[in-house]
Amino acid sequence: MGSPRTRRARAGAAAAVASLLVLTACGGTERLEPASAESGGGMHGDTLDEPYVVPELTLTDTEGEDFDLVTDTDAPLTLVFFGFTNCPDVCNVVMSSLASARTRLSDAQREDLDVVFVTTDPARDDEATIRSYLDRFDPSFTGLTADIPTLTEAASAFSIFFEKGDRLPSGGYDVAHGSYVAAVTTDAEGRDRVPVVWDEQTSAAQFAEDVSTLLAR
């Protein structure tokens, strides 16, 4: 998608929020169904009637290099997830499912798939912290950070909302955030779009099946 880039050695408006929101305080989840999506069609994820537009924003990867959400998501399929490394449950489950799904794919399919993790907690998630976190799941995963305004704009384009949550008894704080995984592909006009999303309950086998389906199109 976008112009080709050299793959890194370790190889994703407020109004949109209302249409697709899983607000997770990483301990409890309230699911709201996407207003513009439908299940079925052989997919475990939800297919959006109006795919989201991937914004032309520059974030920073775990190597400290610029990462453009359009030009640097150049694999045939990129899965994007917004989360944070101190998340006690949901983020770990999703990232583990994505890592396990990748092992179920063929070598050619893995080559055509990128997984991108975007932090919703840049105050604590610096490049090194994100890299160490992702390496627990799959070293090929790309990690991104940025300042809060940039992250908020990026998340909104994906219909994801996040905010700093309550202080925890053990110290620190929680981060409430949307927990959907978004598929980034290129449409017939060569534009980066999000046509399919999955919730945090999607299994590794289901991710693998849908990834295979999308890569075969």
- CATH number of domain containing 160: 3.40.30.10
Asked if residue 6 is part of any domain, the answer here is no
Q: Are strands 66-68 and 162-167 parallel, antiparallel or unpaired?
A: unpaired
pLDDT band at 93 (very low <50, low <70, confident <90, very high): very high
Note the pLDDT of residue 30: 38
Rounded to whole angstroms, what are the CA distances from 131 to 45, 122, 183, 194? 27, 13, 22, 25
Note the pLDDT of residue 20: 39
Asked if residue 98 is part of any domain, the answer here is yes
Number of domains into which the chain is organized: 1
Asked if residue 177 is part of any domain, the answer here is yes
Asked if residue 88 is part of any domain, the answer here is yes
Strands (DSSP E) found in 69-169: 77-83, 113-119, 142-145, 162-167
**How confident is the model over 54-87, as pLDDT tens digits?**
999 999 999 999 999 999 999 999 999 999 998 8
| Coil, helix or strand at residue 41 | coil
Asked if residue 34 is part of any domain, the answer here is yes
The residue to which tokens 């620190």 are assigned? 172
Closest CA to 165 of 56, 26, 45, 11: 26
**How confident is the model over 169-212, as pLDDT tens digits?**
555 666 666 789 999 999 888 899 999 999 999 999 999 999 99
CA distance 47 to 44: 9
Note the pLDDT of residue 89: 84
Asked if residue 4 is part of any domain, the answer here is no
CA distance 129 to 52: 29
Burial class (CB in 10 A: 0-12, 13-18, 19+), 158: buried
CA distance 173 to 144: 21
What pTM value is reported for the model?
A: 0.81
Asked if residue 120 is part of any domain, the answer here is yes
CA distance 163 to 182: 19
Rounded to whole angstroms, what are the CA distances from 184 to 69, 87, 128, 202, 211? 10, 24, 25, 17, 11
Asked if residue 17 is part of any domain, the answer here is no
Give the residue numbers spanning the domain of 156.
Answer: 26-215
Locate 137 and state its tokens: 């799941």
